[in-house]
Amino acid sequence: MPRTVNFSTTDTVTEPFFACELGFSGSVTRNINVKVVSTGDGNVYSLDGQQPANYELYVSKGNTIKFLQHDTTNTNHPLRLSTTPDGTHGGGSEYTTGVTYSSASPGSAGSYTQWVVDSSLNYGDKLYYYCSNHSGMGGSITVLESTYRLWTGYGEITIGSDTYYGVGDYGNLSVVRETEKLEATGVTLTLSGIPNNMVSDALLQNYQGQNANIYFGTLANGQLTQQPYLLFSGKMDVMNVVQQAENSAITIQCENYLAELRRSKVGRYTDQDQQSRFTGDTSLRFVDAIQQDKEILWGVPFSTVGRQIKPVDPGDIDIDDILKGGFPF
């Protein structure tokens, strides 16, 4: 059935827009190799080969960030976190929520600082990594949401209780098709102009098979004319990255839930599989025995031929006896 959107008939300008919600759920661990390098202004941390002057670390809530300090250049340079630039050297204090340290000293095997990014942090919150022994060595960290909410305008808008962040001309959405057939149609989302240091965080997320929702709405004088309606609901499938010198473009292919109909289900007619799905259900407990080429003699066993057959009480029949060689006589 065709969908209808009622546009305003007043003199105000009505602007259509799209919004998408991408759920990157599940915790992943990101290992970052830390070294200490010398510059003209002194020593600084290098994270995966990137120095603080031209690199900002992006992390997503719920993920685990593991700063590996086993390289010998880390000796006497323990890495710590703070909400203040340069930590204790800048007048701040050490941030310890979700942070643990290995027993090994920096510069030796097994040394690390591990941080589980707290879900109570907000999008855009800043933290800083620093050396507790020396000033001026660290850089900044920006916190991202575990669920990305974007829209095709500029600035921020609130839909329901959620905040959506504008991507403007950097976002692109392929045609969303609806047909009368039972067909698994998909959609492609493209986001360009992404800093390269954000790409590594995006690729590490558990995105495949996670929810992707696309909404259509209208604005009049910057306000929602009505609650946006759901235009597409499916799952993220494949993420492709086109990397350039400074920025990258990410393309995410999303598929309709009907695509599940094309996939074979992983299930077996075995007792183990049935028990894993329905604990205590023993209806398939004899399947293995039946598949072992066991000869099942229905009625009179060969050993009783020529003897008088006596009536059998149905209550005395046991399936185990049948599998072993016949009815009890």
| pLDDT at site 146 | 77
| Residues in CB range of 161: below 8 A, 6 or more apart | none
| pLDDT at site 259 | 66
Q: What is the pTM of this model?
A: 0.61
Strand 29-39 versus strand 64-68 pairing type: parallel
| Residues in CB range of 320: below 8 A, 6 or more apart | none
E strands, 209-303, in order: 211-220, 223-224, 229-243, 247-256
| pLDDT at site 29 | 87
- Say if residues 115 and 64 touch (Cβ distance below 8 Å): yes
- The stretches in the chain having pLDDT less than 70 are 1-12, 25-26, 178-184, 196-198, 200-201, 204, 245, 259-265, 292-329
- One-letter amino acid of 241: V
| pLDDT at site 183 | 67
Distance CA 307, CA 329 (A): 10
Distance CA 300, CA 313 (A): 15
Nearest 10 degrees: Cα torsion 283, 289, 293, 298: -70
3-state secondary structure of 321: helix
- Say if residues 217 and 159 touch (Cβ distance below 8 Å): yes
| pLDDT at site 107 | 96
- The candidate with the shortest Cα–Cα distance to 106, out of 134, 78, 132, 147, is 78
Residue 122, both tokens: 């907000």
Identify any residues that bridge with 286 across adjacent strands, giving them in sequence order. none
